[in-house]
């Protein structure tokens, strides 16, 4: 079994069960970043055909047993209800040291079943990449989906050495690893992921009701409303298992949110807006601290802002300078641009030290750095 990810590593056999957005993106990212990995996929024949065409898998398995029997790592990329039913079946076929992981956004229920299932062979480590797409299916897979995304692992009682190959794969995809207890994960996910989904749907439901009374309502739904309700477009079949699987934590989050809304109601009724003002200030402080360059809940990257002239090749010049200094850009974003004049780039680095070095290097090359 391969124990490291590197150019001289032995062949790594990875199986992906379910080749939708996450599974397909995972396969494409592995193919691009881990050349010694052989990816086997298992799904419906039509999906397997598309996955082969898109470069997400090397081998299409005709049956579940064939897909996992010789795997070093198995990724379960199906809805949670399917994950729960697949775990006992997979446990019958895997090798003693095979690492089995999932990508479901609820960890407690999955880990409970896995703990009973993988007692004699197989090492189960719950996983949740904080990345996704509003689209569905292999057609929307993206090999860059995991870049800078938080990838949560819930290793239960396993020592890190036993699932080290999985950690190496995740890091090779450009994701940012976060180890959490399953219960801690589900509480956090309820607040920052599951509750916002319900709120977005609730806001749209309310707006639709009002629009039925006054058809001008949705005509006023500009940028702010669209931004807040963007995730209301997510398909319910994907969310059904999540809402069911994490219902206790989501209900707790809903009760807390009702309490917060009740405070606003009381303030407005009493015409006392000072407490609301303090909430605005606190919200701004913590909202501004959320990392812009991270796709999930984790530590921030360190930003450098560079103003450049609107001239051909300026971006290539800047990135080549940093490359020569071995300063790896983790994320890049064009914030502002004025045609014919220039624009501001945000460059993000892993550490404050790397960001400081980047500022020095770029300034020495006459770039305007903030």
DSSP for 155-169 reads -TT--GGGGHHHHHH
* Strands lying side by side in the sheet with 99-102: 59-60, 37-42, 12-17, 73-76, 99-102, 123-129, 150-154, 176-179
Q: What is the mean pLDDT of residues 33-62?
A: 95
Whole-number pLDDT of residue 220: 78
Residues 5, 117: Cα–Cα separation, whole Å: 28
Q: What is the mean pLDDT of residues 266-286?
A: 88
289 confidence band (pLDDT: 50, 70, 90):
confident
Whole-number pLDDT of residue 331: 76
Whole-number pLDDT of residue 197: 93
Strand blocks (E) in 83-132? 99-102, 123-129
Whole-number pLDDT of residue 295: 53
Asked if residue 348 lies in contact with residue 293, where contact means CB atoms within 8 angstroms, the answer is: yes
Running DSSP on this structure, what letter comes out for residue 10?
Answer: P
Q: Bigger pLDDT: 145 or 220? A: 145
The string of pLDDT tens digits covering residues 117-133 is 998 899 999 999 988 76
Q: Is the dihedral of CA 241, 244, 249, 251 positive or negative?
A: positive
Q: What is the mean pLDDT of residues 23-46?
A: 95
Residue whose C-alpha is closest to residue 238's, from 79, 65, 84: 79
Given the DSSP bridges, would you call strands 150-154 and 73-76 parallel, antiparallel or unpaired? unpaired
Cα–Cα distance list, 124 to 26, 151, 179 (Å): 18, 16, 14
Whole-number pLDDT of residue 7: 39
Percentage of residues of the chain with pLDDT beyond 70: 91
Cα–Cα distance list, 320 to 16, 124, 148, 193, 331 (Å): 36, 42, 21, 38, 15
* Tally of CB atoms within 10 A around 80: 23
Structure tokens, 75: 């990724």
Q: Which long-range contacts (CB under 8 A, 24 or more apart) does 321-324 make?
A: 321/361, 321/362, 321/365, 322/347, 322/358, 322/361, 322/362
Least confident stretch, 1-15, 85-99, 199-213, 282-296: 1-15
Whole-number pLDDT of residue 338: 56
Please provide the average confidence, as pLDDT, over all residues in the chain. 87
Q: At what angle do helices 352-364 and 314-324 cross, to 10 degrees?
A: 120
Say yes or no to pLDDT of 293 above 60: no
The string of pLDDT tens digits covering residues 325-349 is 999 887 787 765 555 566 788 888 8
Say yes or no to pLDDT of 61 above 50: yes
Structure tokens, 240: 């059904």
> How far is it between the farthest Cα atoms of the chain?
70
Say yes or no to pLDDT of 42 above 70: yes
Whole-number pLDDT of residue 228: 83
Whole-number pLDDT of residue 3: 36
Q: Does an H or E element contain 89, and which? A: helix 80-93
Residues 312, 251: Cα–Cα separation, whole Å: 54
Domains and CATH numbers, the chain: 12-180 (3.40.50.720), 185-289 (1.10.3660.10), 302-369 (3.30.2130.10)
């Amino acid at each position: 079994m391969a124990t490291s990810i590197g150019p001289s590593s032995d062949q790594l056999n990875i199986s992906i069960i379910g080749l939708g957005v996450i599974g397909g993106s995972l396969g494409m990212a592995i193919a691009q970043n881990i050349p010694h990995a052989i990816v086997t996929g298992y799904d419906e024949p039509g999906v397997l055909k598309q996955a082969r065409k898109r470069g997400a898998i090397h081998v299409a398995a005709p049956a579940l047993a064939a897909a996992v029997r010789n795997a070093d790592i198995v990724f379960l990329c199906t809805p949670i209800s399917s994950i729960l039913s697949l775990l006992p079946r997979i446990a019958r076929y895997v090798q003693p040291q095979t690492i089995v992981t999932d990508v479901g956004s609820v960890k407690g229920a999955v880990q409970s079943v896995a703990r009973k299932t993988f007692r004699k062979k197989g090492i189960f480590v719950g996983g949740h990449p904080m990345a996704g797409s509003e689209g569905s299916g292999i057609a929307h897979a993206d090999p860059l989906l995991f870049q800078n995304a938080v990838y949560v692992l819930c290793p239960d009682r396993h020592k890190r050495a036993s699932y080290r190959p999985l950690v190496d794969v995740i890091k090779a995809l450009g994701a940012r690893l976060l180890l959490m207890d399953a219960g801690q994960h589900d509480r956090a996910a309820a607040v920052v992921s599951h509750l916002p989904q319900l709120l977005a749907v609730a806001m749209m439901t309310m707006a639709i009701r009002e629009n039925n009374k006054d058809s001008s309502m949705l005509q006023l739904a500009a940028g702010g409303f669209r931004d807040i309700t963007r995730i209301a477009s997510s398909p319910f079949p994907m969310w059904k298992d999540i809402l069911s699987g994490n219902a206790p934590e989501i209900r707790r989050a809903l009760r807390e949110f009702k309490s917060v809304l009740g405070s606003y109601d009381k303030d407005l009724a009493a015409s006392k807006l000072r407490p609301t003002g303090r909430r605005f200030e606190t919200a701004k402080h913590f909202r501004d601290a959320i990392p812009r360059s991270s796709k999930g809940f984790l530590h921030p990257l360190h930003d450098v802002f560079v103003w450049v002239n609107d001239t051909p090749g300026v971006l290539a010049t800047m990135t080549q300078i940093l490359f020569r200094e071995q300063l790896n850009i983790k994320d890049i974003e064009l914030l502002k641009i004025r045609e014919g004049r220039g624009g501001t780039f945000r460059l993000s680095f892993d550490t404050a030290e790397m960001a400081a070095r980047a500022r020095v290097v770029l300034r020495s090359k006459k770039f305007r750095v903030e």
